[in-house]
Amino acid sequence: MIDEVCIETPLGIATISGDKNGITSVSVTKESKHTPSTEIPEHLQKAVSQLNEYFKGRRTDFDLTLNPSGTDFQKRVWNELLKIPFGKTVSYLDIAKRLGDPKTIRAAASANGKNPLWIIVPCHRVIGSDGSLTGYAGGLWRKKWLLNHENPVKQQSLF
């Protein structure tokens, strides 16, 4: 049975789903119908803890058992996303090349957009070849926030 919990994040309410076989999805919403969970099943506690650490700036990678649903190709793309280091970005073309065929750029971009594991599988670290912030299921403002959060060089305000 898949369990689900909701936690508050700086970007909205995150919903974490999974069972004893791993985390199946993490998504974010700003809808008020979701409220933070008061009870967290044991098999979701590690994910909740690690996401909270991430948002507090105390975690740069995740150590979780993942069990997303997807095609073999989507899973290959998501595995490539897991290799993008914290604070770094790559292009959709880079992902296609890593998969062995630059012609798969559109398919790789589509798989990236279907990533069910928000933040944990860092699809927000994929940008356009020209450096632009292109497409993000959670909204470009969230992508920008996440990339700024992960930027190792924090810009200080002068005023």
Question: Does residue 134 sit in the same domain as residue 77?
Answer: yes
40: how many CB neighbours lie within 10 A of its CB?
18
Which helix or strand (DSSP H or E) is residue 7 part of?
strand 3-9
**Number of domains present in the structure of the chain:** 2
| Residue-number span of the structural domain to which 15 is assigned | 3-55
3: how many CB neighbours lie within 10 A of its CB?
17
pLDDT tens digits, the chain, 159 residues: what are they? 899 999 999 999 999 999 999 999 999 986 656 788 889 999 999 999 999 999 999 999 999 999 999 999 999 999 999 999 999 999 999 999 999 999 999 999 999 999 999 999 999 999 988 888 887 878 899 999 999 999 866 555 555
- The torsion angles phi and psi of 9, rounded to 5 degrees, stand at -130, 165
The confidence score (pLDDT) of residue 44 equals 97
Comparing CA positions, the residue from 69, 85, 152 lying closest to residue 122 is 85
The confidence score (pLDDT) of residue 108 equals 94
Catalytic residue among 6, 40, 99, 123: 123
Any idea what the CATH number is for the domain that residue 12 is in? Answer: 3.30.160
Active site residue 123: yes
In a domain, 20, yes or no: yes
For residue 61, what is the DSSP state? S
pTM greater than the 0.85 cutoff: yes
> Measured in whole angstroms, how far is the alpha carbon of residue 119 from the centre of its chain?
2
In a domain, 67, yes or no: no
